[in-house]
Amino acid sequence: MTQLKVQERPKDKSANELRRSGMIPAVVYHQGKEAFEMALNYIKFEKLYESAGESTLIDLVMPDETKKKVLINDVQKDSMRGRFIHVDFYEVDITKKVKVPVEINYIGEAPVVKTDNGVVMKLLDEIEIECLPNDLIQNIEVDLSVLTAFDSAVHVADLKVPSTITIINHAEDVVVNIAEPKLIEEEKPVVEEAAADGQGEAKTDAAGGKENAETGKEENKK
């Protein structure tokens, strides 16, 4: 079980002061209870988030050494530097199922990419699952080596997960498939042709305008 020790948020420090001291303001929500404001060590949380993500059950070690089983509900980052600036946790009841998004981990290589220059189209980057907190998984692996032809595809129904987990997405949803390169390339000439037509029209208009101007001059001379 992943653990993270927290401390009560100091009352005499603003959020920015807390961040400058190497901490992150955070809060844990309990159903039917008052939220608890706390502070996290930045480096420890960053390491935990990189390894656990938002779908891993965490033992939050409180200041009084009691433990709460929580999930990361939301993280806020600085838009300029990408650093964590706030974290929300929520306490779970291990006897009740939860719904969480789980990242898709694409592995392997599609043979059709090498043999026929196929283009891998990854249509989903996460899947929503439902299960008991203790049955949560960190990611779902999708092996691209099954994509051997242009009509190959992996659907949600093809995903392999433990029997304790239910996938919420529609079974027929496409996770990843292969596109033919010519279908992508064929779109370019249409744009180029339209641009060429536009230039042709511009030249015609310009020539017509010049001709009209010259005709006007001849009429004035008369």
Per-block average pLDDT, block size 10, for the chain (222 residues)? 89 91 94 87 93 87 92 92 94 94 96 92 97 94 95 96 97 95 60 52 50 50 48
Q: Give the pLDDT confidence score for residue 186 in this predicted structure.
A: 56
Q: Which of 102, 126, 131, 101 is nearest to 176 (CA)?
A: 126
| pTM for this predicted structure | 0.73
**Which distant-in-sequence residues (6+ apart) come within 8 Å of 4 by Cβ?**
40, 44, 45, 48, 58, 59, 60, 61
CA dihedral 164, 134, 156, 110 (to 10 degrees): -120
Could you tell me the strand order of the sheet in which 36-41 lies?
2-5, 58-61, 67-77, 84-91, 23-29, 36-41, 7-8
Q: Are strands 139-143 and 98-107 parallel, antiparallel or unpaired?
A: parallel
CATH of domain 99-185: 2.170.120.20
Q: Give the pLDDT confidence score for residue 222 in this predicted structure.
A: 47
Contact, 43 vs 4, CB < 8 A? no
Helix or strand holding residue 116 (H, E):
helix 111-116
Tokens linked to 118: 């196929």
Q: At residue 84, what are phi and psi to the nearest 5 degrees?
A: -65, 135
User: Domain limits of the chain?
Assistant: 2-92, 99-185, 191-216
Which of the four CATH numbers 2.30.42.10, 3.30.70.20, 2.40.240.10, 1.10.10.10 does domain 2-92 have? 2.40.240.10
Q: Which of 4, 59, 68 is nearest to 36 (CA)?
A: 68
**Would the CATH topology of 2-92 be identical to that of 99-185?**
no
- Rounded Cα–Cα distance for residues 63 and 28 (Å): 13
